[in-house]
Amino acid sequence: MANTQQMANAIRALAMDAVQQANSGHPGAPMGMADMAVGLWARHLKHNPANPQWFDRDRFVLSNGHASMLIYALLHLTGYDLPMQELQNFRQMGSRTAGHPEVGHTPGVETTTGPLGQGITNAVGMALAEKLLAAEFNREGHTVVDHHTYAFLGDGCLMEGISQEAISLAGAWKLNKLVALYDDNGISIDGSVQPWFIDNTALRFVASGWNVIGPIDGHDADKVAAAIAEAHKQTERPSLVICKTHIGKGSPNRANTAKAHGEPLGADEIALSRESLGWSHAPFVIPDEVYADWNARATGHAAEQAWNDRFAAYQAAYPELAAEFTRRMNGDLPAHFAQTAVDTVVGAHTKAETVASRKASQLALEAFTAALPELLGGSADLTGSNLTNTKSTPNLRFDLQGNVVKNENGVGGRHINYGVREFGMAAIMNGVALHGGFIPYGGTFLTFSDYSRNAIRMAALMKQRVIHVFTHDSIGLGEDGPTHQSVEHAAALRIIPGLDVWRPADTAETAVAWSVALSNREQPTALLLSRQNLPYLSKRDLGDISRGAYVLSEPKDVGLKKKAQAVIIATGSEVQLALAAQKQLAEKKIAVRVVSMPSTTSFDREDVKYKKSVLPAGLPRIAVEMGVTDFWWKYGCAAVVGIDRYGESAPAGVLFKHFGFTAENVAATVRAVLAGKK
């Protein structure tokens, strides 16, 4: 029989040694959660170290990501491609053992964690994806989607407000295959949490529709394993297992103190801890018998092979479903997607409708959601404003038994009512994308992107295809006033590395933005959309829109047979102002090129030749956007028509005149630049 105490002590020793060698890190939490890890990883977790991406594996999320040495030790011990040298290089340049776990960087890591609360929220997204895929693809006698999502979390995760958003939705969605294990050690960076964290955690989860088990002794692996087995009996509720633990377990002088949290124990204390634990082995040395107890390669191979056999039978019985499932889990778009995208863009161009770009987004979504069953939409209680729902995406609902409600055609809903939970929505979408099988999108007002921002950043860091629909993108929303009028948000989103940001000016640009977003396998997208109607802008061709910026109008298009003297760059609703100003200037024989730049981020990735063809050297540039001006100086602008203050509560038309967003002011700004007065 396996020596569970030695298995746990191996984790403790590796955590102590790696943090000490790096002179940086968090040894206390891995030491405290080691027995919990034995109870889960050695007794229940379905995974195959030889194939970390196996479709039907259980998902494990270390929400308290500062305890990264826990998962690195587990991955190494169970047989993943994470050799001891990587643990010895913990937190060093180029190692696969970063300070906090990073998906795509370390085999076996399912999500990047560190910002507390987001890991458990990602886990909710993963569990939701599993449940929806099971409802869609499983057939009687053929269960091909059947796995659990597990999360370890600590006090910090529960103190972050996003955790309540996540647990509330998990309860509402009856995610019975979600099991969270709470490392209840009562210590955070500032010390004992009692003066600032007095929540009755058990009742909080019960109130949110969870099954709560414990408190149990988190240092008894058998009890942890038994609690997980009990959680597996749930058919309608997610489960929380409360594990009472001691941070820094095994350290005579640091256990149960904040000192164990975020600094090396020190050579002397490590020696005492080894003695206390009965672990006599040298640093980074694991006995063969402990490796043997932990090794999961044989059981993992057997579990995957059993699933392969089930899938082969499924494939024989339902070949089209099997092919669709494989495509979806691989993240491939349907073969017809390219034609669908072309048809959608050309259709928008042909109809030339005058609608708000939020409505243009919905028009594009009608086509894309019909063609892509993997599109999973939603809104943070603003569906009627964000227009994220379509004919193909009825609301997602669950019955009293926790089953997905399906229509007469056996199809479940694909539009999620997230409630007023912008941050939770964004992090859940990350979890859905990480799980695979869906492309999530969700809507709210642009000004509330601040609530979502860290999850948006995490999507970019993790290179996940997540699409944010941000409507009401400027002072153009009118009477709701400065609390809702975005001024700095477009610029703030554009500076997030790896986030593609689009602010389209009409229906064709919006359709292109959606097609590019859906094609971006390794990049999240933010779509910034207007509340007010926008006219369709006449175009010579549609080919360059996807490059982020293109020449929309030349002087000859307004009757001037001369070269441009200046370039007006505009985005979104302000492109129409640029065109109107161009006409006014033409009447005074001033020749201007108008460039629509729906995506600065896409344009910035273009080659120098294309950039120069759109923004020629030597021509003064004037940018027009209803946002802060600082962003635009990077393009060498001579002037910017923008807004560097908060808005006012008034009708949109009044605000445009008040803040100078008129064709007359744009034209006057161009004349001033050409006269050398700007």
Q: Give the relative orientation of helices 422-435 and 449-462 as an angle to the nearest 10 degrees.
A: 20
Query: Among 149, 153, 12, which Cα is nearest to 69's?
Result: 12
* The residue type at 193: V
- State how beta strands 533-534 and 355-356 pair: antiparallel
Helix then strand then coil, % of the chain, to nearest 5? 45, 15, 40
Identified catalytic residue from 102, 160, 422, 509:
422
Asked whether 179 and 239 are in contact (CB, 8 A), the reply is: yes
- Identify whether 587 is a catalytic site residue: no
Which helix (H) or strand (E) element contains residue 159? helix 155-159
Question: The tokens of 654 are what?
Answer: 């009044």
Asked whether 506 and 357 are in contact (CB, 8 A), the reply is: yes
Helix (H, G, I), strand (E, B) or coil at 666: helix
Other CB atoms within 10 Å distance of the CB of residue 323:
11
Question: The tokens of 418 are what?
Answer: 């997230």
φ and ψ at 343, to 5 degrees?
Answer: -60, -40
Question: Distance between the two ends of the chain, CA-based, in angstroms?
Answer: 81
| Residue where the block lists tokens 């292109």 | 512
Instruction: Tell me the C-alpha distance between 516 and 499, whole Å.
Output: 12
Instruction: Tell me the C-alpha distance between 668 and 65, whole Å.
Output: 55
Burial (0-12, 13-18, 19+ Cβ within 10 Å), 350: exposed
- State how beta strands 149-153 and 439-445 pair: unpaired
- State how beta strands 500-502 and 525-528 pair: parallel
Asked whether 153 and 181 are in contact (CB, 8 A), the reply is: yes
Instruction: Tell me the C-alpha distance between 527 and 609, whole Å.
Output: 27
- State how beta strands 211-217 and 239-244 pair: parallel
Asked whether 328 and 437 are in contact (CB, 8 A), the reply is: yes
Query: Among 170, 166, 202, which Cα is nearest to 184's?
Result: 202
Question: The tokens of 288 are what?
Answer: 């063969």
Please give the C-alpha separations between residue 376 and each of 55, 406, 443, 467, in angstroms, as whole numbers: 19, 15, 12, 10
Lay out the sheet containing 500-502: strands in order across.
415-417, 375-379, 439-445, 467-471, 525-528, 500-502
Beta bridge partners of 211: 239
Q: Give the relative orientation of helices 118-137 and 422-435 as an angle to the nearest 10 degrees.
A: 50
Asked whether 378 and 388 are in contact (CB, 8 A), the reply is: yes
DSSP state of 333: P
Instruction: Tell me the C-alpha distance between 251 and 160, whole Å.
Output: 28
Which helix (H) or strand (E) element contains residue 373? none
Q: Give the relative orientation of helices 28-41 and 221-231 as an angle to the nearest 10 degrees.
A: 60
φ and ψ at 29, to 5 degrees?
Answer: -65, -45
Instruction: Tell me the C-alpha distance between 296 and 79, whole Å.
Output: 6
The CA angle 536-540-541, to the nearest 5 degrees, is 95
Active site positions, annotated: 422
